[in-house]
Structure 1
Amino acid sequence: MKRTPYLADPDVLSFVEWMGQHLQAGSRLGHGYARPGLPPLCFGNLASALELYEWAFSFRRIDGRRCAGRSFAENAAVLDELQLLLRRAVAGGSDADVRDAAIEVMRWGGVAPRNEEWLRANVGGLAATLSLVRTALAQDDDAADLGATLRFNAGMTKVYSLLLDNFVIYDSRVAAALAWFVSAWSGKREIPASLRFPCMAAKEDPKAARRKMRNPRPGRNGFPLLGSRPHVHAKWNLRASWILRALLEANPGTAFGAGPAGSRRLEAALFMWGYDLTAAGGGLDRADPLALQAA
């Protein structure tokens, strides 16, 4: 399906209109969760999630330099630099330069080991491969031919988010947050097929005493598990990007701004929101979208 008919779907239209209310500073739809070894984190609304954004990165650049930070501004500065490197490398057709830039993206995102191994093993033709996938994604058609050997996972979504304007990262935290908001919008109704965003499990020790929840409504009538399905991942990454772009265009003047930078800020807020959907406890469970809808 192409972007225009997808956004014209009645359920998508309704969700975008509802969600737009919660981009506003006056929204009172909040969320909170516990964090092992840290104070609980609470958001009064989605705008406050952006204010509290943090991603602690520390990685070694290809040239040996150490790069570290944690604030939104520090992350944005690194991503701007990596975006420039990656786009120049793809435009220049240098497989080695594309590999190195993509590896640095993986290191920034904390998803390096297997992705870096794959990039090194598949460096031949890498520039052309990324260029072809980028062109297909830019067609704004979630049925576009992305190739039978497409690699698309929580690491590659970060790479393509830098190659394309308004193409957001679709990882387990962003997926969880989108599913949470869709669940809050739908109440106790069945989730419509057009908004059934696939969810992913958190990357954590399987023996952890407290597991993070990243699917607000699993099961047949809820949100499916994504698993390792690259074409499905790309399809829903596109749909998530279309919705976020539509939200920003329909709601100018929010804390998120507009354009590609606005998409990145809204993605960052969702990233913080989706860290854990587990019940926070104490009174109304602010992490339960169904409870919020009924309240």
Structure 2
Amino acid sequence: PALKAWEKVISTTIWVMVALVILDWLPAVEAFLEQIALTVGESRFSLLMVLKLVVLIALYVLLALWISGVVEQQLKNAKTISVSFRVGMSKVIKVSLLTVAFILAMTEAGLNLASLTIFGGALGVGIGFGLQKIVSNFISGFILLGDRSIRPGDVITVGSTYGWVRELRARYIVVRNRDGVETLIPNENLVTSDVINWSYSDKRVRVRIPVQISYNDDPEQAMAIMEEAASASSRVLDYPEPAVRLMQFADSGIALELRVWLADPQEGVGNVRSDINLAIWRGFKEAGITIPFPQRDVHIKGEKLEH
């Protein structure tokens, strides 16, 4: 989209220039535009200079984006380079090329770079207020690339958002959930808030499934059924093997907990928990094991009333 916008600017400018040359109006238009000027201190900024600057910026930025796109594609094809390094290098190269493009455009337009110091205070105020979030997100993006805490392909949870990271951009990351919905999370949020990275050092994650049984049932039999239900799931790892623990003797029944390991959390955790719960329920039903509901025993003490 960015390249298309710049291409439209350049193509429109070229057609206007061609028309002025054909009509032999170009010298008169340049002289007229040069007369419209603003003087700030010792510097003079004419409308012609501004138009040249816009055209040159469009041309050089288009060239910079095209080169950075070619380099980014080459880095993607380099399978021996880590994903984080490829993303980081792509960002550095793009920013460097865009910076050079702006400097070259201002120089060729005849703009004295030293005169821009008078706008330093106004630029600082702008960054402090309007551009603060943009700059913060941009810097946070480089922090994430530097410490490699979040990488493309990682499965993360940020607030109520769960999914896997598809892209790391300059201002945000793209997280896709199991419903196919893509959420754009600003980089600053990832640096300043709590983030659960399910695959930070190891893609395997442990899932806990709590179950209660009645005090009238055999806990060892129930634990065996739960382990069998977990082993029947194709996504549950054989090692570490599924395990069941007796957690406590609760008010309504015996609290058990099944613990299983998954190697592909990006495929979803809730669906595995649902399948195992269903298999446990079927196994309990066949074995006659009861899943209790909350209950209380109420004892009423009667007192003899005197009339």
Instruction: Please report the TM-score for the alignment, with normalisation by the length of structure 1.
Output: 0.24
Q: Which structure has greater strand proportion?
A: 2
The higher-RCO structure (CA 8 Å, 6+ apart) is: 1
Instruction: Please report the TM-score for the alignment, with normalisation by the length of structure 2.
Output: 0.23
